[in-house]
Amino acid sequence: MPKVTEEHRVARRAQIVAAARSCVIEQGFHKATMADVIAASGLSAGAVYGYFKSKEEIVAAIAEEALSNVDDLFETVLVTDGPLHPVTALEHVMNHIVTLAERPGGDVTRVGVQAWSEALRNPAVMEIAGGKYRMLRSRFAEVARRAQADGTIDAGVDPEHVAQVLFGFVPGFILQRLIIGDVTPESYTAGLRALLK
């Protein structure tokens, strides 16, 4: 297949996923229909069905995208030289989340929250969420190992357990930002600095 065609396919697929994401942000996974997605994408029904056979396949693609958004960040965070404090790593994650949330096209963290709920009753989304979150948590395990090597935290503790807690900060940040609304990376970092070693 010539390269331009593959690029075209990738771009078209992204266009459909973006349209579907905005439908989901407005209406939720359950109320958004294929017809809504087709209308929002500006493509023909035939074109959309050429990429996604059903709403379930689009839901899986949106969930995968929403849950992948934080993972790339660690490429940047973990390559830094010198000691990496867990609070610094979390501060990067929170700033990144707010940047993503404020991008034009709607707050992607709202899709993330819906993906959590969807995972509990849709095995395909559960598999995607489980895989993505295991991968993301393994990045936090790297942060934990770095902090143990730097002497910030006790080297005798299982880094996977530390990673559970570091990873576990993120949903609480997202949720409070959406539901209570007064949480910022600055306020959360102040709280983290008071609590963490």
Q: Which residues bind its own copies (CB under 8 A)?
A: 27-28, 30-31, 86, 110, 113-114, 116-121, 126, 129-130, 133-134, 137, 144, 153-154, 157-158, 160-173, 175-176, 178-181, 183, 187-188, 190-197
CB of 63 to its own copies, least distance (A): 12
The DSSP line for 76-93 is: HHHT--S---HHHHHHHH
Which residue bears the tokens 């990067």? Answer: 92
What's the closest the beta carbon of residue 107 comes to its own copies, in angstroms?
9
CB of 93 to its own copies, least distance (A): 12
Give the residue with the Cβ less far from its own copies, 4 or 195. Answer: 195
Q: How far is the CB of 55 from its own copies (least distance, A)?
A: 13
Residue nearer to its own copies on the CB measure, 17 or 192: 192
Long-range Cβ contact pairs of 165-174 (< 8 A, separation 24 or more): 166/86, 166/89, 166/90, 166/140, 167/133, 167/136, 167/137, 167/140, 169/90, 170/70, 170/90, 170/93, 170/94, 170/97, 171/116, 173/94, 173/97, 174/97, 174/109, 174/112, 174/113
Q: Which is nearer to its own copies, 2 or 181 (CB)?
A: 181
